[in-house]
Amino acid sequence: MDKNLSALKDILAEISDLNNASAVLGWDQQTYMPKRGAESRGQSQGTLDKIAHDKFTAKDVGRLLDALEKETPKWDLDSDEARLVKVTRRRYDKATKVPSAMVAEQAELVSMGNQAWQEARSKSEFSIFEPHLVKLLDWSRRFAELFKPYDHIYDPVLDEYEPNMKTADVKAIFADIRPKQVKLIKAIADARQVDDSVLHQHFPEKAQWDFGVQVITDFGYDWSQGSIDKTTHPFQATLGPGDHRITTRVSEDFFNPYFFGTLHEAGHAMHAQGMSLDLARTPLYNSASLSIGESQSRMWENLVGRSKPFWEHYYPKLQKVFPEQLKNVSMDTFYKAINKVSPSFIRVEADEATYNLHIMLRLEIEIAMLEGSVEVKDLPALWNERFNEYLGITPPDDAKGVLQDVHWSFGLLGYFSTYALGNLVSAQLWEVIQRDIPDIADKVRNAEFAPLLKWLNEKVHKPGAKFEPQEMVQNITGSKINGGPYLRYLETKFSEIYGL
Amino acid sequence: MDKNLSALKDILAEISDLNNASAVLGWDQQTYMPKRGAESRGQSQGTLDKIAHDKFTAKDVGRLLDALEKETPKWDLDSDEARLVKVTRRRYDKATKVPSAMVAEQAELVSMGNQAWQEARSKSEFSIFEPHLVKLLDWSRRFAELFKPYDHIYDPVLDEYEPNMKTADVKAIFADIRPKQVKLIKAIADARQVDDSVLHQHFPEKAQWDFGVQVITDFGYDWSQGSIDKTTHPFQATLGPGDHRITTRVSEDFFNPYFFGTLHEAGHAMHAQGMSLDLARTPLYNSASLSIGESQSRMWENLVGRSKPFWEHYYPKLQKVFPEQLKNVSMDTFYKAINKVSPSFIRVEADEATYNLHIMLRLEIEIAMLEGSVEVKDLPALWNERFNEYLGITPPDDAKGVLQDVHWSFGLLGYFSTYALGNLVSAQLWEVIQRDIPDIADKVRNAEFAPLLKWLNEKVHKPGAKFEPQEMVQNITGSKINGGPYLRYLETKFSEIYGL
């Protein structure tokens, strides 16, 4: 192998080992760590992260990249080698541009800001969080300014989660779909409402658990490189190549959280399990972006797991698991219940049709905040006004409004849109899947998921982070990320359910 | 704080963070890691260990120690500061004396040697392991020679686990107790035998689990800084200050493994939970030595958990848990069964009376190997001959003889004697405890363990690794490590049980 490439890979491998160790610590913290282990765990995590950061931003990495960029023409532009150099350069330039003092400053702002946010939310009092948000926002603005020149000040923060995605693109995508989604939701609101009371019965934990585990096993979740545990907030974690776990939660009074949450996290994990091991211990062993990752979780959760063919197979099985609760409930009633559309205040509880509107609201507000066109103190009023415009209801208080999400208190500006983009990408991919596997509905109806997983493996999982998200979606679907397919999907599905 | 001390502590804190992270990785590997995570886990672990080693052996550490040693007189000799400098110096000199090439060489020898040992044991064919043991032994000899001058070539390997303990001391201790233990066992063999068939009934897992958990909770095992999980081989692990977990295993056909194994590991964990947090993130946050650690696990397992007062409290409770199995079994029958003495081939299954003889055999053989007074090829014959001399039985094959233990294949020469020394120390401490807490038997009979745990906390746990093991035992008991108390304990206990 090329000497410089080999030297770079050695450094990246060590950093990847440290990041994997850090992921083990994080997973354990959420699952099995006794509560008095928290302080020491924070210290270990801090030390690992600092060492990894120091190693990555060392001058050696810069010199090797310089040397390799001179050699790059000898590799095919889409080769692992050329892409590794390209992606590492991007990340190196970003990492080295942020002074250590600013990194430390943010850690402090986040630590205090998150505490204030918790208090503010529990008291539903925005003013408690306001001064912290002002500082966090100021930090994000200074962060963005390090990356001048840019087309838009929001570009650098968005770029953290969606490499090379531009604010103008996201705005255009959302501007296109917003009025159509609003119109759809109005139509649904005027139609005969769906009754989802069947989902709010008592479903004993063990039976729920086994049923969900069976479904993700059928999907192809590989237990030899995975596991499932309980946590307050479900997540998927990659602890290293060959180790892609999920966590979940169970509510005995409501069917949805465990079942769809588990499908969602398994979707993330199967994505990770499918990444090419040739990319292991490099930055390419990763999702192309958060939206690409979310397209996988939402596909298994919604396009598969909330579809009619899926339940044609699984509903009779579920009735056997819960005979008392479901024997008198028809498949049609159950299918409509799990797809009920109803504007609600809390994003994480939103249905497929209203979810994106929650995101658009946040994106507009974030952009306005960063541009300075709205002042932090005016956020609650702006939130409530826009919320009513999009969803037809007004939050009763800030806890159910502008204070509901943790992200800003963690300094995560630019993150939200990836959730909505993931929905759009999932539908774009699905249209291609329907072309490539014309009997996909029959396959799902027979619980034959191998062809679907194989397709996703080849197209989306294997390449890891070799391609930028727009590039990957273009390569697979022939178009950039856009809302057309998702809108068609929503309109078809909900017209049938609500008889529009 | 002193500038040099503060600088040294910063480095040691970072190393301690890395070691704690490594402990999390190790714990997870034994408990929850999916099997295909092994390769990546090995890489992460290797990287953490290498970084920690590089940081500790850096010239900075040496310079700070030099400077601090000039200042030491300003601290009391037993202060945390003076002891930290002393212990760090010892470890630094040892760590820097071993060339990196030798460290890497051993890792390779161990990797191949352990594989060969596994095959050799499964086929009971010593010749498969022999050439590897020759190389591992040669490595240990070269390792020992780095520490010339020494009184005995075995001193440096023993010192790895028992700081400053000398081979001559251990030999003298064992020479004193061996004939007496052999005599006791002969007397027991000639007495009426104990029937332990009551222990070999069906004991459902859940009931065993809850009973053992209740007992260690009564002991004072602190769940806010601990947890219990299942593994093939039980162990205790400290993942950081405030995080001291145990693992265990359950056999449904035999009462002993889960119950006494859990008490044993809880003993280790309570030791760790009691270490002073003032010593956190330094090498002093540790057991004084392996024998001191083993004295704690064996005390709770045997001196408490296999004692008559203990079962006077717990046997009626156990009968309620397993009414079918135990309703017609008297307390006396049960107590004798869990204390049955019977020479057996496998060390880890040995009873309190025969256990030490297994260790003495190994120690003599290790010393002879390192001295070169026995050749590796002659080990099986030597083993069987001595085994018969001490325990009156001859192993039927090498798998049940010289090949039974994994230690040598891991390059762990010098480790075994710590097990026997731990037994001796537990009895030495117990004699002092009986003096300091005269009604300790009544306390145990009432399941009041707080005074005992408090005593151990003050004397043994809090100081961590500030004192060398001989120093600590001398401070607490007024004597160095010796076999007198353990022999008295065995003779009293087994004379009653066997009517000698």
Contact B243 A40 (CB under 8 A): yes
Catalytic residue, from A162, A265, A366, A468: name it: A265
The string of pLDDT tens digits covering residues B188-213 is: 999 999 999 999 999 999 999 999 99
User: Helix B417-436 crosses helix B469-477 at what angle (to 10 degrees)?
Assistant: 20
The string of pLDDT tens digits covering residues B399-423 is: 999 999 999 999 999 999 999 999 9
Strand partners, B230: B248
Which residues in chain A have Cβ-Cβ distances shorter than 8 Å to B31? 32
Mean pLDDT over B447-466 rounds to 98
CA B65 to the chain's CA centroid: 30
Looking at residue B182, its pLDDT comes to 92
Burial level of A171, CB count in 10 A (0-12/13-18/19+)?
middle
Looking at residue B232, its pLDDT comes to 85
Contacts of A187 (CB under 8 A, 6+ apart): A498, A500
Residues of chain A with pLDDT under 70: 1, 72
Burial level of A77, CB count in 10 A (0-12/13-18/19+)?
exposed
Looking at residue A315, its pLDDT comes to 98
**CB neighbours of residue A122 within 10 Å:** 11
> Rg (Cα) of chain B, in Å, rounded?
23
Å from A228 to nearest chain B CA?
10
Please name the helix (run of DSSP H) or strand (run of DSSP E) that holds residue B243, with its range, or none: strand B243-248
pLDDT at residue B72 tops 80: no
Looking at residue B107, its pLDDT comes to 86
Pairing verdict, β A228-230 and A243-248:
parallel
Mean pLDDT over B363-390 rounds to 95
Percentage of the residues of chain B whose pLDDT score is greater than 90: 93
How many degrees, rounded to 5, is the angle at CA B111 between CA B108 and CA B116? 125
Contacts of A132 (CB under 8 A, 6+ apart): A109, A112, A113, A116, A117, A409
Which residues in chain B have Cβ-Cβ distances shorter than 8 Å to A14? 47
Looking at residue A75, its pLDDT comes to 86
A365 in Cβ contact with A414 (< 8 Å): no
Chain B interface, Cβ < 8 Å to A: 13-14, 17-18, 20-22, 24-25, 28, 31-41, 43-44, 46-48, 51, 222-227, 229, 239-243, 245, 280-281
Å from B19 to nearest chain A CA?
9
Q: What are the structure tokens assigned to A325, written together?
A: 């609760």
**CB neighbours of residue A13 within 10 Å:** 15
Burial level of A58, CB count in 10 A (0-12/13-18/19+)?
middle
User: Quick one: pLDDT band at residue B1, thresholds 50, 70, 90?
Assistant: low
Strand, coil or helix: what is A238?
Answer: strand
Closest C-alpha to B401, from B381, B374, B371: B381
Contact A24 B36 (CB under 8 A): no
Q: Would the CA dihedral through B329, B331, B334, B337 be positive or negative?
A: negative
Which residues in chain B have Cβ-Cβ distances shorter than 8 Å to A43? 13, 17, 20, 240, 281
**Average pLDDT value for chain B:** 95
A426 in Cβ contact with A440 (< 8 Å): no
Which residues in chain A have Cβ-Cβ distances shorter than 8 Å to B35? 224-225
Strand partners, B245: B237
A121 in Cβ contact with A404 (< 8 Å): yes
**Residues B64, B56: Cα–Cα separation, whole Å:** 12
**CB neighbours of residue A119 within 10 Å:** 11
Percentage of the residues of chain A whose pLDDT score is greater than 90: 93
Burial level of B184, CB count in 10 A (0-12/13-18/19+)?
buried
Euclidean distance between the first and the last CA atom of chain A, given in angstroms as a whole number:
62
Looking at residue A72, its pLDDT comes to 67
Contact A223 B34 (CB under 8 A): yes
Looking at residue A233, its pLDDT comes to 86
**Residues A256, A259: Cα–Cα separation, whole Å:** 5
Contact B225 A36 (CB under 8 A): yes
Closest-CA residue of B relative to A273 is B36
Contact A239 B48 (CB under 8 A): no
Please name the helix (run of DSSP H) or strand (run of DSSP E) that holds residue B324, with its range, or none: helix B323-326
The string of pLDDT tens digits covering residues B278-300 is: 999 999 999 999 999 999 999 99
Please name the helix (run of DSSP H) or strand (run of DSSP E) that holds residue B169, with its range, or none: helix B167-190
Please name the helix (run of DSSP H) or strand (run of DSSP E) that holds residue B228, with its range, or none: strand B228-230
CA B434 to the chain's CA centroid: 24
Contacts of B295 (CB under 8 A, 6+ apart): B422, B423, B425, B426, B429, B460
User: Quick one: pLDDT band at residue B87, thresholds 50, 70, 90?
Assistant: very high
**Residues B196, B344: Cα–Cα separation, whole Å:** 15
Active site residue B39: no
**Residues A330, A313: Cα–Cα separation, whole Å:** 14
Catalytic residue, from B125, B162, B265, B352: name it: B265
Which residues in chain B have Cβ-Cβ distances shorter than 8 Å to A23? none
User: Quick one: pLDDT band at residue B233, thresholds 50, 70, 90?
Assistant: confident
pLDDT at residue B140 tops 80: yes
Closest-CA residue of A relative to B19 is A44
Looking at residue A104, its pLDDT comes to 85
